[in-house]
Copies of this chain bind each other. A is one copy, B any other.
Amino acid sequence: MAGVAGVSTATAGRVLGGYGKVSETSRRKVEEAAQRLGYRANGLARSLIQGSTETIGVIVTDVGNSFFASAVRAIADEVRAAGYEMLLANTDADPQTEQRALRMMWEKRVDGVIIAPQGSGSVGHLRPLVDDGLPIVLLDRPLATLPEVDQVIINNTSCARSAVNHLIELGHRHIAVISEAAHDFPRLRSVTLAGGDAERPSAARLVGYLAALRRAGIDADEDLVVHSPYNRAAAERAVLGLLRRRPEVTAIFCTDNVLTSGAVAAIQRSGRRCPDDLSVIGFDDQDWTTLVRPQLTVVRQPRYELGSAAAHRLLQRIEERRSAPNNRSRAENTASGDAPKIQEAQRLVLRGRLIKRASTGPIPPG
């Protein structure tokens, strides 16, 4: 290789190994020779040479969930069109798993990461990557503690408020909500409508529910804020328990696709007629919502578009970083006193909407 390139072996090594100083001319010679020799089309060596792996990392809760499956599919389409590949990891909402996945992607030198981060608490594991200038886009879940990072989310608070408004307009007053964030009820009571979308989706939707009740002058009843983990059987049990405990409930708002499945199953088992006895609104317009009877009123989320937008944003960031002087990180830019070349963080909010179907009806007489 060195012979073909007309440079010393040490120089060839430095170029191919991607370390040490080497003149631009020598680098070009070695790269050309490498190309001429085929160099076994070694993507790894090329990545070391170019400083880019043309790979992004995607970290979601569970690609087996139809919401994330659709968003991940969109990300894959978008990045493939730009010549990038995708490393995928699931976290099951476990912070340690998320941390490991991030570290691994960092070690594999991904050019950027799209992540649906867990918790609103510690971002200790994200901070060093952000400071080092790794392009990151938050998918579906904002992080108030990382305001300098791009986020692509859905207007969950407004969507939830519209859904509950629809129930109120139909005359319902005893409206239950099934939510993974129920334990956060005391804190979320005091979150304003405007502040809702800074919360994670389940909390944001609960804020929307509370805002709709407040506006209608209905006191929120903590007992009607039913907790369930993201598990259909658990949601079914929770809703059956609610209907036994509080028979006056005439409407249920579900804040997630898995919880929706469980609630629909529970209503079917309860023997209550929908919507004559009980109205229900689901979240996320899954394939089956028009196959069940009555067809389900839902909040439709633009899940594919969410993934596309996140990928689009990430690719822009990667491009910006590449064209920035010396690929310097934010920390370096700040330390050297230069004006940062990186644009301000962007917060993109996509709009979901309420699709009214047959599972919501007027409050039963009597």
Contacts and interface: CB of A to CB of B under 8 A. Distances in A.
A114 to B, nearest CB: 13
Interface stretch (A71-79, A167-175, A216-224, A324-332): A71-79
A305 B74 CA distance: 25
Nearest to A57: B85
A47 interface: yes
Interface in A44-70: 44-48, 53, 55, 62-66, 69-70
Given A69-B66, A288-B261, A291-B292, A19 B19 contact: no
Interface in A257-313: 261, 264-265, 268, 286-288, 290-293, 304
A317 interface: no
B55 A64 contact: no
A107 interface: yes
A102 B237 CA distance: 46
Q: Give me the 8 closest cross-chain CB pairs, A-B, nearest first.
A: A13-B13, A288-B288, A64-B73, A43-B107, A69-B69, A16-B17, A9-B10, A17-B17
A261 B108 CA distance: 40
The DSSP consensus for interface residues of chain A is helix
A328 B18 CA distance: 27
B88 A41 contact: no
A359 to B, nearest CB: 12
A81 to B, nearest CB: 11
Contact of A85 (B9, B46, B108, B293): B108
Q: How many copies of this chain does one complex carry?
A: 2
Contacts of A18: 42, 44-45
Interface in A65-112: 65-66, 69-70, 72-73, 76-77, 80, 85-90, 104-109
A129 to B, nearest CB: 12
A55 B87 contact: yes
A14 interface: yes
20 contacts: A1-B20, A8-B10, A9-B13, A9-B20, A13-B17, A18-B42, A42-B48, A43-B108, A44-B47, A46-B107, A48-B48, A55-B108, A63-B73, A64-B69, A86-B88, A87-B88, A261-B288, A265-B290, A291-B291, A292-B292
Range class of the A interface residue count: 35 or more
A136 interface: no
Contacts of A48: 17, 42, 44-45, 48
Contacts of A44: 18, 44, 47-48, 53, 108-109
Given A261-B287, A292-B288, A90 B63 contact: no
Contacts of A17: 12-13, 16-17, 45, 48
Contacts of A12: 13, 17
A43 B45 CA distance: 12
A232 interface: yes
Contacts of A268: 291
A107 B76 contact: no
* Interface-centre pick from A47, A77, A268 (highest chain B CB count, 10 A): A47
Contacts of A69: 63-66, 69
A106 B10 CA distance: 28
Interface string A1-39: 100000011101110111110000000000000000000
B85 A261 contact: no
A274 to B, nearest CB: 12
